[in-house]
């Protein structure tokens, strides 16, 4: 049952719809006051009465029933207590019956969501700075799928620009095919760094690089072949990381894919009188909207990110007819997205309102910042491997006889990296700490995984009951069930707010409440069979909900730790 809906139907307020009341209903901070609360402050101006008086009057119009056991008015809040036995029974039945589908829905049926994420640069390292876009986009991909949307994951490859001319110049001057094949993306990166160092002494190298890039654009056979090779090497290398992080894509259409799709955009801008000249460049004036001009073509006629992104958005609308198109890109690009979204709107593209910039904060290691050109980058693969190694050391100390230690360490290490990027609100900057993400007692994935291993151990010893009855409930049991019941709403909210951290925090909250229940309530040594079976069923439901939450985040759960 949707308890909020049941309560909202009972509350009749003139001028407020049932949906508005439903949205206002919340969990009170003090659970002794009730299970749901309606703040009446919003209605004070309408009724010209104090919130306390409104709550008192509403209380007198609502009768208790088989669901609502008590209604009270306290300090401007209308509080509702739910019949605990019915609530607990219904929540557990739903989780244990629906299993992997608990929290899923079909609300997105018939709607497509495009998600542009990760978007690596060809021949450049897949570094720690790519972590957030990759795991945040991957989580949103799974969440929208879970809610019934058709989800299209797009890796908008950075495979266009003068840097490829630089690489060709560097490879032809210093490269060795066998060494590059063996070294992959790291070897390519070394060439790129060397080019920048040498070009400081030899500026003519930059002219050569521009000439090579022009040859790529003109279809020169040798340059095109080298460009394709760089691309193959990069994708082969990064695929290993995508597999570790459980990331998938439906399209790898990058910038070069749209190189022949920009002219119609430029022509349309001209036809609609939106282009103006500024110092030889072609721009769209956005001063009226509080933004600097959006540059469409450079003075030499070459395109820019905005031009390519507009071509890509137009193509995606035609190809996928999306309901929403999300761009999971760091907040430094806020202005870029505001600009090109506004230009598309000025062009009369009604669907521009469905383009969403999902901005996130930066990730750095405790050592500090990075630069690809200077060569001081931290490869994401190294970060993941270091986490796996550290996880193995900790597990080996805590449980040296554990089977499949390597596999468990992999799930723990990879999970720690993902969770470290997803636990906080996405807009916050993150300083990644190995010790912090691998803490067994903190708000970490390891803590949740260990809780799951504990629940699994209980179920292996006690068995999964085929049926259960509700005994006299303890406070710990009720609090745990109340938290488990919020999962469907949490998933929905995570999609609406593009905020997977809500699911990560749900998992930690459930783990904390389960551990309190585990220590305060005897499970296997319960006072009677009825209580024991109920507590085993509650343990099973907890494990299922945590598995569902972590599956959406892309984190595996070991059976033992």
Question: How do residues 501-517 score in pLDDT, each as one tens digit?
Answer: 999 999 999 999 999 99
Q: 362 falls in which pLDDT band (50, 70, 90)?
A: confident
In the prediction, which pLDDT does 326 show? 98
The helix or strand, by DSSP H or E, that contains position 553, with its residue range, turns out to be helix 529-553
- Indicate the length of the chain as a whole number: 561
pLDDT digits (tens, 9 = 90+) for 514-533: 999 999 999 999 999 999 99
Alpha-helix runs per DSSP H in 245-327:
263-271, 305-320
Percent of the chain predicted with pLDDT > 90:
70
On the question of pLDDT at 193 being above 50, the answer is: yes
- Kind of pairing, strands 324-330 and 36-39? unpaired
Q: What is the mean pLDDT of residues 3-23?
A: 91
What is the spatial distance between Cα 74 and Cα 356, in angstroms, rounded to a whole number? 41
On the question of pLDDT at 127 being above 50, the answer is: yes
- Choice among 80-84, 417-421, 432-436 with the minimum mean pLDDT: 432-436
Distances (CA, A) of 494 to 112, 146, 147, 421: 17, 12, 11, 15
Q: Which of 174-183, 257-266, 351-360 has the highest mean pLDDT?
A: 351-360
The helix or strand, by DSSP H or E, that contains position 284, with its residue range, turns out to be strand 281-284
What is the spatial distance between Cα 553 and Cα 102, in angstroms, rounded to a whole number? 15
Beta bridge partners of 376: 371
On the question of pLDDT at 317 being above 90, the answer is: yes
Those residues whose C-beta lies under 8 Å from the C-beta of residue 344, and which sit 6 or more positions away, are 310, 313, 314, 352, 355
pLDDT digits (tens, 9 = 90+) for 52-88: 999 999 999 999 998 899 999 999 999 999 999 999 9
CB 73 within 8 A of CB 53: no
- Choice among 157-161, 202-206, 279-283 with the minimum mean pLDDT: 157-161
Hey, how many other C-beta atoms are within 10 angstroms of the C-beta on 353?
Answer: 11
Query: If you search the block for the tokens 């892309």, which residue do you land on?
Result: 554
Average pLDDT over all residues of the chain: 92
Domains present along the chain, CATH in parentheses: 3-82 (3.30.1360.70), 112-262+303-365 (3.40.50.620), 263-302 (no CATH)
What is the spatial distance between Cα 367 and Cα 360, in angstroms, rounded to a whole number? 21
Q: 15 falls in which pLDDT band (50, 70, 90)?
A: confident
In the prediction, which pLDDT does 483 show? 94
In the prediction, which pLDDT does 370 show? 47
CB 126 within 8 A of CB 237: yes
What is the spatial distance between Cα 329 and Cα 512, in angstroms, rounded to a whole number? 32
CB 83 within 8 A of CB 122: no
In the prediction, which pLDDT does 47 show? 85
In the prediction, which pLDDT does 185 show? 84
Beta bridge partners of 431: 364
Q: Which residue has the higher pLDDT, 53 or 374?
A: 53
Secondary structure class of 463 (helix, strand, coil): coil
CB 67 within 8 A of CB 86: yes
In the prediction, which pLDDT does 91 show? 94
Query: What is the reported pTM?
Result: 0.89
Percent of the chain predicted with pLDDT > 70:
98
Q: What is the mean pLDDT of residues 388-396?
A: 94
DSSP state of 371: B
Alpha-helix runs per DSSP H in 245-304:
263-271
Q: 376 falls in which pLDDT band (50, 70, 90)?
A: low
What is the spatial distance between Cα 24 and Cα 10, in angstroms, rounded to a whole number? 14
Find the radius of gyration of the CA atoms of the chain: 28
Q: What is the mean pLDDT of residues 91-111?
A: 97
On the question of pLDDT at 201 being above 70, the answer is: yes
DSSP state of 72: E
Q: 372 falls in which pLDDT band (50, 70, 90)?
A: very low
What is the spatial distance between Cα 417 and Cα 434, in angstroms, rounded to a whole number? 9
Q: Which residue has the higher pLDDT, 415 or 4?
A: 415
Q: Which candidate, 156, 125, 198, 210, places its Cα nearest to that of 381? A: 125
The helix or strand, by DSSP H or E, that contains position 38, with its residue range, turns out to be strand 36-39
In the prediction, which pLDDT does 367 show? 64
Number of helices (H) and strands (E), helices first, in the chain? 21, 12
Angle between helices 529-553 and 475-484 (to 10 degrees): 30
What is the spatial distance between Cα 83 and Cα 91, in angstroms, rounded to a whole number? 12
Those residues whose C-beta lies under 8 Å from the C-beta of residue 305, and which sit 6 or more positions away, are 336
CA atoms within 13 A of residue 55's CA, in its CB half-sphere: 19
Q: What is the mean pLDDT of residues 439-443?
A: 85
pLDDT digits (tens, 9 = 90+) for 302-313: 778 899 999 999
Beta bridge partners of 152: 114
């Amino acid at each position: 049952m949707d308890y909020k809906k049941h309560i909202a139907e009972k509350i009749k307020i003139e001028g407020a719809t049932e949906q508005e009341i439903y949205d206002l209903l919340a969990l009170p901070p003090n659970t002794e006051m009730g299970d749901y609360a309606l703040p009446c402050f919003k209605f004070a101006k309408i009724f010209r009465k104090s919130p306390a008086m409104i709550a008192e009057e509403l209380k007198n119009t609502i009768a208790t029933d088989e669901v609502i056991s008590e209604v009270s008015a306290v300090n401007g809040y209308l509080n509702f207590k739910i019949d605990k036995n019915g609530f607990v029974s219904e929540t557990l039945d739903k989780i244990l019956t629906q299993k992997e589908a608990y929290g899923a829905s079909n609300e997105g049926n018939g709607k497509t969501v495009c998600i542009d994420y990760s978007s690596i640069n060809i021949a450049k390292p897949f570094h720690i700075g790519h972590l957030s876009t990759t795991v945040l986009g991957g989580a949103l991909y799974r969440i929208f799928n879970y809610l019934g949307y058709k989800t299209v994951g797009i890796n908008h490859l950075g495979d266009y620009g003068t840097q490829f001319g630089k690489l060709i110049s560097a490879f032809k001057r210093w490269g060795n095919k066998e060494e590059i094949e063996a070294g992959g993306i790291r070897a390519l990166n070394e060439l790129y760094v060397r080019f920048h160092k040498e070009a400081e002494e030899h500026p003519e190298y930059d002219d050569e690089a521009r000439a090579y890039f022009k040859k790529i654009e003109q279809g020169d056979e040798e340059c095109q072949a080298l460009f394709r090779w760089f691309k193959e090497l990069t994708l082969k290398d990064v695929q290993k990381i995508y597999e570790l992080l459980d990331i998938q894509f439906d399209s790898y259409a990058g910038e070069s894919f749209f190189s022949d799709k920009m002219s119609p955009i430029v022509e349309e801008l001209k036809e609609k009188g939106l282009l103006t000249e500024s110092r030889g460049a072609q721009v769209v004036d956005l001063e009226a909207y509080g933004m600097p001009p959006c540059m469409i073509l450079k003075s030499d006629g070459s395109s820019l990110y905005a031009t390519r992104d507009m071509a890509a958005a137009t193509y995606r609308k035609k190809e996928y007819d999306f309901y929403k198109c999300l761009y999971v890109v760091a907040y430094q690009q806020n202005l870029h997205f505001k600009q090109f979204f506004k230009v598309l709107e000025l062009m009369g593209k009604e669907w521009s309102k469905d383009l969403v910039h999902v901005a996130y904060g930066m990730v750095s290691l405790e050592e500090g910042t990075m630069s690809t050109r200077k060569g001081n980058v931290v490869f994401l693969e190294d970060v993941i491997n270091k986490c796996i190694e550290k996880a193995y050391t900790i597990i080996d100390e805590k449980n040296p006889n554990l089977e499949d230690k390597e596999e468990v360490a992999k799930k723990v290490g990879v999970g720690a990296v993902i969770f470290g990027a997803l636990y906080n609100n996405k807009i916050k900057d993150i300083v990644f700490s190995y010790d912090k993400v691998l803490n067994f007692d903190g708000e970490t994935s390891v803590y949740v995984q260990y809780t799951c291993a504990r629940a699994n151990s209980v179920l292996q010893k006690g068995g999964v009951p085929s049926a259960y009855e509700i005994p006299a409930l303890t406070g710990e049991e009720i609090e745990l069930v109340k938290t488990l019941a919020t999962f469907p709403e949490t998933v929905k909210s995570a999609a609406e707010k593009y905020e997977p951290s809500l699911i990560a925090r749900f998992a930690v909250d459930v783990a904390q409440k389960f551990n309190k229940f585990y220590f305060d309530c005897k499970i296997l040594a319960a006072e009677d069979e009825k209580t024991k079976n109920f507590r085993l069923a509650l343990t099973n439901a907890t494990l299922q909900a945590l598995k569902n939450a972590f599956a959406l985040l892309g984190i595996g759960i070991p059976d033992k730790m």
